[in-house]
């Protein structure tokens, strides 16, 4: 599969993930980089009126994970570890996460991501280690059209 087809397949797979029916993200993928945006809703909030940390984590992990998987054309990657830093609360507008690969070797990828609010202020960041699984990409949901 050519690089452009692989990236389109990953984007299709991501947008069709069952959990994304809830978050309704928009996504842009390119080699070694992804950008994921969601519009904030009240049902993302915790009791103090801000977005729950789980939403930050999802965006940060998804952006870093898929940035890494754009460079892996054979198998599905797995998140091995992921560190998350929530640096600023947000309660309206959109959240936009940008993930990039910072290192890779034969068995693993290191990727970072930053999430921004509608004013383009950083509100969180994360970094993760992603490892190759034994699951062929062609066996994953919606990778192949």
* Residue 144 included in any domain: no
Strand order in the sheet with 94-104: 26-30, 33-39, 94-104, 108-116, 122-136, 75-86
Query: Residue 1: its pLDDT value, please?
Result: 79
User: Domain span at residue 130?
Assistant: 3-139
Please check whether residue 105 lies inside any domain of the structure: yes
Q: What is the CATH number for 112?
A: 3.10.129.10
Residues in the chain: 145
Cα–Cα dist 40/90, whole Å? 9
Q: Is 84 contained in some domain?
A: yes
C-alpha–C-alpha distance, residues 41 and 55, integer Å: 11
Phi, psi angles (nearest 5°) of residue 81:
-140, 150
The pTM assigned to this predicted structure is: 0.96
Angle CA 93–89–80, to nearest 5: 100
Residue 145 forms part of a structural domain: no
Q: How many domains does the chain have?
A: 1
Q: Rounded distance, CA 15 to CA 145, Å?
A: 13
Q: Quick one: pLDDT at residue 145?
A: 80
Along the 145 residues of the chain, how does pLDDT read in single tens digits? 799 999 999 999 999 999 999 999 999 999 999 999 999 999 999 999 999 999 999 999 999 999 999 999 999 999 999 999 999 999 999 999 999 999 999 999 999 999 999 999 999 999 999 999 999 999 999 999 8
């Amino acid at each position: 599969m050519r690089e452009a087809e692989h990236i389109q397949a990953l984007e299709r797979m991501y947008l069709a993930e069952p959990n994304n029916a809830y978050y309704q993200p928009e996504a842009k993928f390119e080699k070694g980089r992804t950008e994921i945006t969601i519009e904030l809703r009240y049902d993302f909030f915790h009791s103090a009126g801000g977005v729950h940390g789980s939403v930050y984590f999802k965006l940060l992990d998804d952006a870093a994970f898929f940035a890494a998987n754009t460079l892996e054309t054979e198998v599905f990657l797995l998140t091995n570890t992921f560190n998350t830093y929530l640096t600023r609360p947000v309660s309206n507008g959109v959240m936009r996460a940008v993930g990039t690969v910072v290192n890779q070797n034969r068995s693993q990828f290191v990727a970072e991501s930053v999430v921004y609010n509608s004013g383009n202020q950083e509100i969180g960041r994360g970094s993760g280690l992603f490892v190759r699984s034994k699951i062929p990409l062609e066996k994953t949901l919606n990778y192949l059209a």
